[in-house]
Each structure stands twice: as C-alpha cells, then as structure tokens.
Structure 1
Amino acid sequence: MQLGREPSLEANQSGTRILDVQPSERMHTTEHNLEHSEDKSIRSSVIAQILKDGNTNEHEEDIQETFFPKEEETKPEMEKSFCPPQGMLNKIITNGVLLIMVWCVIWSVAGPDSLPGGSLFGLLVIFYSAVIGGKILQFIRIPSVPQLPPLLGMLLAGFIIRNIPFFSERVNISNTWSSTLRNTALTIILIRAGLGLDPQALKQLKNVCLRLSMGPCLMEACSVAVISHFLLNFPWQWGFLLGFVLGAVSPAVVVPSMLLLQDKGYGIEKGIPTLLIAASSFDDILAITGFNTCLGIVFSSGNMLHNVLTSLRDVFIGVLVGILLGIFVRYFPSKDQRNLPLKRALLVLSLCVSAVLGSQRIGMHGAGGLCTLMTSFIGGKKWSKDKIKVQKIITTAWNIFQPLLFGLVGLEVSVAALKSNAIGVFVAALSLALSIRISFTFLLMCFSGFSFKEKIFIALAWMPKATVQAVLGPLALETARLTAPHLEPYSKDVMTLAFLAILITAPNGALIIGILGPKVLTRHDPSKIKLELTGINFH
C-alpha cells in the first residue's frame, strides 16, 4: 500500500474521467456529505414545520438564534464603556452643554440683560432651578406613599433662591416680564379648561357637578372674606378677592391622582374620578371670574354700584368676543390644510394670549379670561378627533410655562418681609377656611347617592390648591405696584397666603387622595365597567 499516493483521474468505459480516491478519504468524504445532508434536512424540516403551523412570527427568533447567532461578547463591552460616556452621564453632559449654549445665544443678542442681575439671566436661573426642583421631587419616592406633585419642588426652588442672599442679589426679574409670563400661564390654564369641558359630562353630571364646582368655591370665598376681615383686618373687597384666590381647587393635583385611581378601578362604578375631573374645570373658571370681578372693584375709583356694573360689562364683552372667536377658529384653518392640529393650537394660543394681555392693558380685567374660555370651548366642540391632538400641543406649552410660573411665585415670598406673628395667623385662617370648605362639600354630597366613606373622600379630595393660586396670587401685587402703591401691603398678604395654601394643601391633598382612595373606594375591573358618562346616574 502506498500511503503517499495522490488521487488520480481514470477513464471509465464511456470515456468519462472520474476521481480515484482512497478508502479512508472516501469515508471522510462520505461522513462530510452525511453531515451536510443532515444539516439540510434539519433546515428543511424546520421550514416545513413553520409553513405547516402558518405562524412565522413565533419561530422567527428560533431561526435567528439557530442560523444567525447573536454576538453576545461585544455588546456588553460597549454598554460598560466610559469613553464616550453613556446613559445618565451622557444625558447630564448633553443638557449642560445645551444650557451653556442657550445662555451664549441669549448673551450674544441681549448683552448685559443676560448677565447676573438682568431679567433674562434671572428667568434662565428660575426656569432651570424649577425644573431641577421638580425632577428631584420626582426621584424622592417613599414606599407605600404616593408621589408628591413636582410643582411643589418648583415652588420651593424659587423660594430658596429668593431667601438666600447670594442668589437673591443676582436674580432680578422685572415686573413687566413676570406679569406677562404669569398672564400667559393663566391663558394656557383657561385654554386647557375650555378644551377639557365635555358637553356630554355637562348633560349627565349637570346637577352634582354644578353643586361640587360652585358650592365649595363660593362658600370658601365667603368664609375667607369673613375670617380675613375679623382676623387679618382686611377690607371687605380685599377679603372677597382673597377668598376667590383661595377658593379654587387645583387640576394639576386632582386630575393626575384621579386618573391613577381610575386606571386601577377605584370608584369607577359610581364615576367618582370622572366627577372630580369634570368639576375641577368649572371650579377654576368660577374662581378666576370672581377674582377678576373683585380685582376690578378693588382698583377702581367711584362708588360700588358703578364698579359692579363695570365688572358685568367686562363679563358681557368677554363672553361675546369669545363666542365670535370660537366660531372663527371652528372654520379657520380649513380641514384641507396640512398640520391642522398645530395650526389650530397656535391660532388659539395667539388669539387668547392677545385677548388676556390686551384686556389687562385697557383695564378690562374680567374680559380676557372669559374670552379665552369661550373661544377654546366653542372651537373645540367642532374639532372632533383633532381636539385631542390640539390638547397635547397645549399641554406641551404648559410644561414650559409651569416651571416659570411656580418658580416666580416662590420668588415673590420673602421671609425677611414677614411679620413675626404673621405665619401663625395666616395658617390659622387657612385651616379654618379649609375646615369650612370640607364640611360644606360633605353636606353637598349627602343627597347624591354616595356612601359615607365616598362622601368623606370627595370632601378631602376637593382640598388641594396650586395652579390658580400661583397665577392669581401675584396679580393683585403687580396691579398694586403699577396703579395703587398704598394698597401693596394687602396684596403682599394675599401673595403670602396663596403661597402657604399651595405649600400646605398640594402635598397633603396628593397624599390623602393616594392613600385614602384605595381604602374607602370600591374597586371594580375597569375592563368590565364602561367609563362612559352615559352610564352614570346622579341626582
């Protein structure tokens, strides 16, 4: 046997040349061919099974793992790499560079106004400090305790900047800038309230919803007027103005908490979350309208009858102009245009901001808010499905103005300017007014078909204050600075009471709703109960 013999080509009888292979090599070739044929049979059987099952999605991952194995070694190394940084570190660096670049652009345009002591510099500091304060409060989570609203962190951020000398000396914002931003925030709140009004809710919940939205607000406004007159020595007109500031409930606290309970199925059989969400918009509208009326009376000259007639005139003009603008935005822009929700949102924003700022400029304080409300409500009724898209765009605008609003409110409160016994008296007045509001809300719900525990929950859930107080509280102070400096002490007290109301009721209200709701409300499967208003019957 010749071990080193090379395979040779030989001719057969037909003249065809074949390859002469040794037996050992033939065996190796045969085994290789068998393995190859087995591999092909496995593939064909898998494919046949997939075709037989008729569902390729279920076997897609198995095929990829069998024939295209994943590279498991390089990916974790890339994730753990610190050059370039990944994850949170990368996000922090990116946001920091963006912050510096925004300031550089503003400095190149505005010059000294963007340096420490200027209004633009102060707005940047307030905005980013409020955003950071809200994020910090979001990260603070205590087990079995509901999350606190981020607006509380925004409020405390402005308060800290004002009362630390190093920051307060460098953060100065002009009254014009502050007033314009707060009025714009008020406009966005009213647009959201107008778009959030559901005509179906008005029909199905009209009795109990009207009682809940009007009764507690009016009762608290009257009780605050009496308490502030005898306890804080406020004039009656200032007492009612303060009452409407404190009388509004905050959708920024109530609505997210109610939606969370609704998603989990608590109280949905009797429509308690739907009731509170629908009534919160009406409550804010009533408080803002009453405040604007009282503001016109406080800062107007002449007798009381003339001031009341002037306020009624402003209300009539605001409603009339709002109806006309609402009809206009129903048909302009037309449905054949592109980016229709964006154009509608920008048109409504521009019209309503102009109405609010313009009415403030000409002295018709009560007209702009009602005009905004009617415009957004009447226009939104015609938009059908696009209304939700417009609401999302308006919500994005609110997310920008919310940190500025609450940061500026906190910036107005100075501990050094407070009297030694002022905080105790203010807290006592707020506690007494809240007790009256909670008791009256409980009484109003006694004939609405709710159980005893549900009445207690609704009364306590109707307590949080934040958004409207942050807008209305500083307005009296700004108006006094511009038109009547001798009334500035009263307006500062109104501002301080609004700040304390947010600080006390916003976190406590969110905690009460989150803790008490699952304990006192009946839970049902949301998939088995329709959350439509047509299935809710109230007296």
Structure 2
Amino acid sequence: MDSIKEKILYKRNPLPKNPSRSQKVRYAFLCPPHGFLASLLANILVILFLWLTAFFLARKDALPGGNIFALFVLYGASSLGGFVVSLLRLPPLLGMLIVGFMLRNVPGIIVATDIDRKWSSVLRSIALTVILTRAGLGLDGKALRKLSKNVLLLSFLPCAAEAITVGIAAYMILGFPWLWGFLLGCIQGAVSPAVLVPFMIQLQEEGLGTNKGIPTLLMAAGSLDDVLAISGFSIFLSLIFSTGAAIWYQIIQGPLELAMGLTYGICVGLLLWYIADRNHIDLSIYRFLLLLSAGLIAVFGSKATGFGGAGALGCLTTAFVAGYRWRQPGWNKELVKPSTAFNHLWNYLFQPLLFGLIGAEVALDRIQAETVGLAIAVLVLGLIVRMIFTVIAVSGAGLTWREKLFSAIAWIPKATVQAALGSLALDSARELNAGPEYINLGEKVVTIAVLLIIITAPLGALGISLTSHSLLVKETAIGEDVHADEKYALADIKQSPPEERTKMIGAH
C-alpha cells in the first residue's frame, strides 16, 4: 500500500526545480486531484449534479431535445469555448459567442433551437441585471467628481459621434427607420469594459502610459461612456415601442422613462444606505441580495409596466448610488464581498450564458450576404468616426500623437454592452407582438451586435497588445520617462555608475 501511495500521491512526488513537460503532465494527474485538473473536475461535477437534479424534476425536458438539456449544453460548450479562446490571449467572450452561433447553425449539432425563447429572454435579462449592477458598483463617485474636461470629453464625444454616425448610416445604407438606426447607434457607441479594463490594469503594472495616467483615464471614461450609451438606448427603445400612443406621449416617453430610471435608482440606492444594519454579521450577504433583487425589479418591472426603457438605467443607478455611500469612511465594511459576488456570478455563470444565447439568436439561413456586407460598412464607418473624435477628445490632455493614436485604438472593442442590449429590442418586439417588420429589424440588430463583437473585440485586444509598447511611454524606476522601444538604452543607464547616470540621461 505504501508503495502505491509513493507512486500516486502528489505530496510525495514534488516537482523538481526545472521540470520537463512530461514531468508536469505526470504531476498534474497525481492524486488527489489538484490545480487545474481539480478545478475542471469540480466544474464538471457541479454541472452534472445540477443536470441530475433537473432530470429528476423535469424528466423529458432535461433529456436531449429538451429545453433544459439544451441550456446545459450551451452553458458547458460556451464555457469551454471561452477557455480555449483565452489560451490565444483573446477575450473569452469571443469563444462563447462563436460556440452559441455554432450550436444554432452547424448541421448535426443544432442544439440551440431547442431552447425556449421565453427562457432565453429571461436569462438574458438576468445577465443584464448582473452586468449593470457590477458596472454601477465599479463607478467611483469621488473619482468621477475629479474628472477633468478631457476625460469628460473622452467619455461623451466619441460615443455620441459614433452613435449619430451609425444612426444616419443605418438609415441611408441599411434602410433602417430613423429610430431603429439611432437605437443601433447607441448599441454600437459603447466601449467594452470586459475587454478594455484587463489590458489597462496590465499596462499599469508594466508602467506603460502611467506617467500621464492614460490607463486610469481610459478606464474611468469607459464607465461614463457606457452610461451615455445605455441612457440613449433606453430613450430610443421606448420611442420605438410607443408608436401606437398619442404623439404628445411619444414625445415625452423617452425622457419620462429616463427620469423614472434615475428616480428609481436614486430612491432605492438611498434606501440601501441604511438597510441592512451596518453592524449586522451578514451585512455583505444582505447587500448582495438587496442589490440583485432591486436590479431584477427594475429590469422586469419596467417591462411589465410598459416602461421597458427605464429598467437598465434604474439598475445601473441603484448600484452606483448604493456603492457611493458604501465607499465612505466608516461605511465600507464588507464592501468588497458583494462586488466579488457579482463578479463571480458574472464570470462563472451569466457571461457564458449571455454570450452563448446571443450567438444562438443569429440564424444563418435568415441572414442575407448583402445585409452583412452593408452592416460591416456601417460598423467600419462608425469606428473611423469614433477614432477621429477620440483623438479630438484627448487633444487637450497633453498627449503625444503616439498616445492619442493608442487611445483611439483602445477605444475600439465592443462586447459586454452590445451583448446585454443587442437582444432587448427583439425581445420587446416578440413580447408585444409588434409584427413581422419589428421582429425582422430586431433580428438584424442582434446580428449586427454579434458582428460588432466578433470584429471589434479581437481587433481591439490585438491592437492594444501590439501597439502598447511602441506607442506608450514607460515610466522607469530611476524617475525618467523613456519610450518603450528604448529599453536597451535604459538598461545601459541603470547599469552605469551613479556619477555617470546624469550625463547619460541628458545625452539620451
């Protein structure tokens, strides 16, 4: 028995200092399961246990051909697709989106068609609640108050310019009605924090662009950029689906829903300042549950009452107002735990579901090649305008032309907001029985949202990775800022005697 333990227990077979690949593989499969293999087995076991529970409750619906079975397959395959794509150093959401599309369109493995549309709509709405609450908690009120004019311009100018450009182009090129065109513009106008933020954190760690605060500037402006896009989307969504109402009501409904969302968020956020008790032993759990339920009420309640445009903004505002007070001295006990809970809920559950379901909404047999080509033309036109106005927005920030170019490239990726909002118009058209014309437009919006993610997420990620070291200035340990491609000269300076460094820096 001891000889067997000696062979199979990883604690008794530690890795050498410089292990070979075969030694690493052997070590990974030693007992008990550990490391990546342990995590993989745990995830598989969780999915298996949940499926068995669903099988004993729903029977046929949890078997192949059933709705629950299709959801489990989509979730597992999307998670796997995200992991595979992440190995290529691309955003995982791209793999999730592609897998969802494949499960709907590849002959022989069509599974997504078994998913009930109502279930899909509800799950996407819950995912929207999670991501908006997470975004609201991430907004720092104090930091936003200190934003300079240049950061405010970067938040609003490129987003507004792109939304207006896409709205006009969609009307003239795609034949969209004006309101649908600007709805599409608001969807496209938002940058993706899911792609942008990890890269900006990496740049901060490497000291690239930190001498002028470029990573911080882009992260802060990205949050406000999304708020503007979501607010505009809410207004146009309400205008589109109030076409049967009186003209005066159509005129005021957009601003009315905007005001309703803000009012709901402020009132509920203020309520969460005092409930639950700050000294409660389970404070973080209460905060998480209250925020989640308040967001779900905003999203589902706004649809149920006919004011669907107010839900997204109400959810975002609730989290922002509540989080603002929780950051204050004396109020921040257990703040990190609800934020961490929403992060985990998004990363491990709703991100694979949302992007998988969005990909599954795209039916290849309903897409015309001409429409795709024209949609890409509209997309590219919007991106060009966005990059131009990004350069204009940061022109007064004291950046070099290289840094301005990098800011424009970093402002390209789209993903999270597009996935969250892209299907809402289609869901609304189906729920309200708005007719085939509206449903067709909703399907086109979903298709374009998917194209946006597929094209811009990897393009932006690769653009940031490939240009950051050549376009940004690296902040050095000796207190001088040098261009990143001059690292070899910097190494010579660091290795020189102290009395010679001043002369070398001046000459350099």
TM-score grouping bracket, smaller chain normalisation: 0.7 to 0.9
Q: Is this contact kept in 2: 1:117–1:170, CA < 8 A?
A: no
Please tell me whether residue 517 in structure 1 is matched to residue 468 in structure 2. Answer: yes
Equivalent position of 1:324 in the other structure? 267
Distance in 2 between residues matched to 1:450 and 1:171, nearest whole Å: 50
Deviation at 1:92, TM superposition (A): 5.0
Q: What one-letter code is carried by the residue in structure 1 that aligns with 2:377?
A: A
For 2:392 and 2:294, how far apart are their aligned partners in 1?
Answer: 41
Shift of the 239–303 alpha-carbon distance from structure 1 to 2, 3 Å rule, reads farther
**Cα shift readout 1:448-492 (whole Å, capped 9, x = no counterpart):** 221111111111111100001111111111112222122111111
1:124/1:275 CA distance change after superposition, 3 Å: same
Change (3 A) 1:80 1:269: closer
Aligned pairs for 1:453-464 (under 5 A) are: 453-464=402-413
Contact 1:190/1:285, CA 8 A, preserved across alignment: no
CA distance in structure 1 between the partners assigned to 2:130 and 2:10 by the alignment? 52
1:227, 1:498 → 2: CA distance? 15
- Could you report, residue by residue, the CA deviation over 1:145-166 in whole angstroms, capped at 9, with x for unpaired residues? xx21111111111011111132
Shift of 1:370: 2.3
Per-residue deviation, 1:374:
2.2
Q: Please, which of 208, 213, 224 is the counterpart of residue 271 of structure 1?
A: 213
Structure 1 position 248, deviation (Å): 0.6
Closer/same/farther in 2, CA of residues 390 and 206 from structure 1, 3 Å limit: farther
Q: 1:239 aligns to what? A: 181
In 2, are the aligned partners of 1:194 and 1:373 still within 8 Å (CA)?
Answer: yes
Matched to 2:402, the amino acid is: K
Q: CA deviation at 1:133?
A: 0.4
Who is 2:225 aligned against? 283
Q: Distance in 1 between matches of 2:10 and 2:105?
A: 54
Which of residues 390, 413, 432 in structure 1 aligns to 2:381?
432
Would you say the 8 A contact 1:461–1:509 is kept in 2?
Answer: yes
How far 1:373 sits from its partner (Å)?
Answer: 2.2
2:435 aligned with 1:485, yes or no? yes
Counterpart among 306, 318, 338 of residue 249 in structure 2: 306
Computed over aligned residues only, the root mean square deviation of the Cα atoms, in angstroms, reads 2.4
Matches within 5 A, 1:111-122: 111-122=59-70
1:194 matched residue in structure 2: 136
Q: 1:121 to 1:303 in 2, by over 3 A?
A: same
Cα distance in 1 for partners of 2:478, 2:194 equals: 27
TM superposition score normalised by structure 1? 0.79
Unaligned runs of 5+ in 1: 1-71, 141-146, 530-539
Measure the CA separation in 2 of the matches of 1:82 and 1:526: 42
Matched, 1:334 2:283: no
- Once the two structures are overlaid, the 10-residue window that deviates more, 328-337 or 161-170, is 161-170
Secondary structure in structure 2 of the residue aligned to 1:166? coil
What's 2:83 paired with? Answer: 135
Picking from 258, 267, 283, the partner of 1:315 is 258
**Corresponding residue for 2:194?**
252
Taking the aligned partners of 2:103 and 2:472, their CA distance within structure 1 comes to 41
Structure 1 residues 74 and 354: CA distance shift in structure 2, 3 A:
closer
Q: Which amino acid aligns with 2:284?
A: P
Give the secondary-structure state (helix, strand or coil) at the position aligned to 1:165: coil
How many equivalent residue pairs? 452
Question: 1:220 and 2:220 equivalent?
Answer: no
Determine helix, strand or coil for the equivalent of 1:523. strand
* Separation (CA, whole Å) in 1 of partners of 2:123 and 2:403: 39
Contact 1:116/1:171 (<8 A) preserved: no
2:450 is the counterpart of 1:508:
no
Q: Which residue of 5, 13, 33 maps to 1:76? A: 13
CA–CA distance in 1 between the matches of 2:169 and 2:30?
64
Contact residue 319 and residue 374 of structure 1 kept, 8 A: yes
Matched residues in 2 for 1:485 and 1:352: separation? 29
The structural deviation recorded for 1:86 is 4.7
1:172 and 2:109 are equivalent in the alignment = no
Deviation for aligned residue 1:203: 2.5
| Aligned-partner residue type, residue 126 of structure 2 | T
TM-score by length of 2: 0.84
* Distance change (3 Å), C-alpha of 1:237 and 1:303: farther
Query: Which of the pair has more CA radius of gyration?
Result: 1
